[in-house]
Amino acid sequence: MARGRSASYDGQRDAILAQAARLFAQHGYRATSMNGVAEACGVSKSALYHYFRDKYQLLVHIAEDHVSRLEELADEARAEGLPADAASAEARVRRLIHRFVEEYASAQDAHRVLTEDVKFLLPADRDRILARERKVVGGFADTVALLHPHLRDGGLDKPVAMLLFGMINWMFTWLRPGGRLTHEDMAPIVADLFFGGVGAVRAPAAPDGTPSGP
């Protein structure tokens, strides 16, 4: 009879992936070793191999798990059905932007790995993950098109969605933990910029609730 997984298996697996993502993000995929991952996780190398057969499998799971979560967010927006009016449609897009920025804030290492290390994937794995990324963009494009149907009519729904992702995807390169601005601050700024252009952007409120800028 096959022995089942222990109750802590999934938790340990997730902890290993988180540490591997941190090391890949900090040092690069090539410069990270299984010995380094095992040391960061506080486990033996043999214990590490109980969860993942090699460094490449870690990379695949980090990228795929991150994309899976983004797919869930896009699918949740799709499942809401048609909005009642334009205001409801805009509110939905704003919520979706906030959810994506929030997800990136909690998965910065995995996002950096997906952005920078996808080139190390074998063609079949890279194509599968990129196809799932395109599905995420499609879900975002569908949501944006609810507010501006003419974008889809002109074939611009996905390009506009990609421009929006361009603002979000590279935030990790300049938004530093502990800085003056947080991801929570930036989510409505991204939405304001997307909907109204630079003239619509407002500074985030100070801790006491007063505007922090003119």
Higher pLDDT, 207 or 29: 29
pLDDT attached to residue 1: 40
Contacts of 10 (CB under 8 A, 6+ apart): none
pLDDT attached to residue 10: 82
Is the model's pLDDT at 7 over the cut of 60? no
Report the mean per-residue pLDDT for the chain: 88
Q: How far apart are CA 163 and CA 84, in angstroms?
A: 26
Let me know the angle formed at the C-alpha of 12 by 10 and 18, rounded to the nearest 5 degrees: 105
Q: How far apart are CA 132 and CA 55, in angstroms?
A: 22
pLDDT attached to residue 2: 43
55-200: CATH topology: Tetracycline Repressor; domain 2 (1.10.357)
pLDDT, average across residues 76-104: 88
Each domain of the chain, given as residue ranges in start order, spans 55-200
Is the model's pLDDT at 153 over the cut of 90? no
User: CB–CB of 20/32 below 8 Å?
Assistant: yes
Is the model's pLDDT at 120 over the cut of 90? yes
Q: What is the pLDDT of residues 43-81, one digit of tens each?
A: 999 999 999 999 999 999 999 999 999 999 988 888 887
Is the model's pLDDT at 121 over the cut of 80? yes
pLDDT attached to residue 52: 95
Is the model's pLDDT at 155 over the cut of 70? yes
pLDDT attached to residue 112: 92
Higher pLDDT, 197 or 19: 19
